[in-house]
Amino acid sequence: MKSYQEMTKEELLQEKAGLEAEYAKIKARGLALDMSRGKPSSEQLDLCMDMLDVIDSKSVLKSENGTDLRNYGIVDGIPEAKRLIAEIVDCKPENVIVYGNSSLNIMYDQISRAMTHGICGNTPWCKLDKVKFLCPVPGYDRHFAVTEHFGIEMINIPMSADGPDMDLVEKYVSEDPAVKGIWCVPKYSNPQGVVYSDDTVRRFANLKPAAADFRIFWDNAYCVHHIYEDKQAQILNILDECEKAGNPDLVFQFCSTSKVSFPGAGIAAISASAANIADIKKQLSFQTIGHDKINQLRHVRYFKDRAGIEAHMMKQAAIIRPKFEMVLDLLEKEIKPLGIGSWVNPLGGYFIGFETLEGCAKAVVAKCKEAGVVLTGAGAPFPYGKDPKDSIIRIAPTYPSLADLTEAANVFVTCVKLVSVEKLLER
């Protein structure tokens, strides 16, 4: 098969006519499908329903330290929940604060407190002329929305298959004291599924920031979210690496059980050095007397430990794997030979980051929409919603049924081909 780049104008025109006929047929079907939502399917959520039975009106709601969990108290999480989180991210329980139901909320709080009160005694960011954040792209739109909300200037850092471009990161961080942070999703990144290499993690841990209050916002959202049983990525432990590098305070690590148990009803946590944890706890005590300790206990009683979480995630993997494989097989078969797209085959996480020919992403998303298939808006995975090459599309295969997803993925493939042909004909 010839790639589109190798085709003559006449061959492209012929291809275009065929694709237009195919597209007209698709449109006539009046589809209403959605590949935009990075949410678990109801089948995945069903797996966790028994968690709601582990606590009832007869349960003894006491922590292992004797605290009555029905009452106020314990601002940093019950000891057994700290231990569960510590096992998930492989750190010491004393380095963990368990919060409420959302890690994004913790990230927002970290930035909000840095703005108003400062990190570890440093000048509050709101008193500075300029605050900047590095944003590996493509990345998670809600990260960028938080920094934009606080008026923080965002700087794009290109991603490679090993993680962010570390030469650029090192340069910005060491030279500019206005650079206060970087967003990272180190394992199975949103949206490309990239896993940071050991070298990348070590270079992060060894950063020499110009700002004393520079922090790496290490959002380990997908740390246990594998797609396969036999192919699982491992990343180096950032807290350990920072400690080894003599930079223990450099990182805030976030995680949650949103996509382990229930989004919106899981437990979320931050892990960091002793100095950071003490600083956060001091400020947190003005915000709350304690989070939902009954939900923390429910999670511990249900999952018990890391092995319990891992076993549960393998059940989820069995549900999402066929969906990812169907999309990846279709792209491999239909798109790869034509040379009109690239992607990383993810081993975990929730997304496939599809890269079109330059200048095609918006048009593909629009064409899909016209044919009844909703995708995440082009540009969403970039600061300010601006994809400089207009080429990244986030595909979220988990939520629809396999049948709906198969239809949607076929529509997507037709739209990518059609838009690519049109683009190449413009040359």
Beta carbon of residue 349, minimum distance to ligand PMP (angstroms, whole number)? 8
* Residues 35, 323 contacting (CB under 8 angstroms): no
Q: Which is nearer to ligand PMP, 38 or 118 (CB)?
A: 38
Q: Say how many C-beta atoms besides its own lie within 10 A of residue 158's C-beta.
A: 11
Q: Which is nearer to ligand PMP, 268 or 418 (CB)?
A: 268
Contact partners, residue 33, CB within 8 Å, separation at least 6: 372, 373, 374, 400, 404, 405, 407, 408, 411
Is 376 exposed, middle or buried (CB count within 10 Å of its CB: 0-12, 13-18, 19+)? buried
Q: Which is nearer to ligand PMP, 221 or 371 (CB)?
A: 221
Beta carbon of residue 262, minimum distance to ligand PMP (angstroms, whole number)? 10
**In this structure, what are the phi and psi dihedrals at residue 168, rounded to the nearest 5 degrees?**
-65, -45
Q: Per DSSP, which regions of 173-290 are E strands?
A: 179-184, 215-219, 251-256, 268-271
Nearest alpha carbon to residue 272 among 193, 319, 218? 218
Q: Which is nearer to ligand PMP, 253 or 258 (CB)?
A: 258
Q: Which is nearer to ligand PMP, 284 or 418 (CB)?
A: 284
Beta carbon of residue 102, minimum distance to ligand PMP (angstroms, whole number)? 3
Q: Say how many C-beta atoms besides its own lie within 10 A of residue 121's C-beta.
A: 9
Beta carbon of residue 21, minimum distance to ligand PMP (angstroms, whole number)? 38
* Residues 411, 373 contacting (CB under 8 angstroms): yes
Reduce the DSSP state of residue 80 to 3 states and report it: helix
Q: Which is nearer to ligand PMP, 185 or 331 (CB)?
A: 185
Beta carbon of residue 255, minimum distance to ligand PMP (angstroms, whole number)? 8
Beta carbon of residue 228, minimum distance to ligand PMP (angstroms, whole number)? 19
Residues forming contacts to ligand PMP in the complex (CB under 6 A) are 38, 102-104, 140, 185, 190, 219, 221, 256, 258, 263, 268
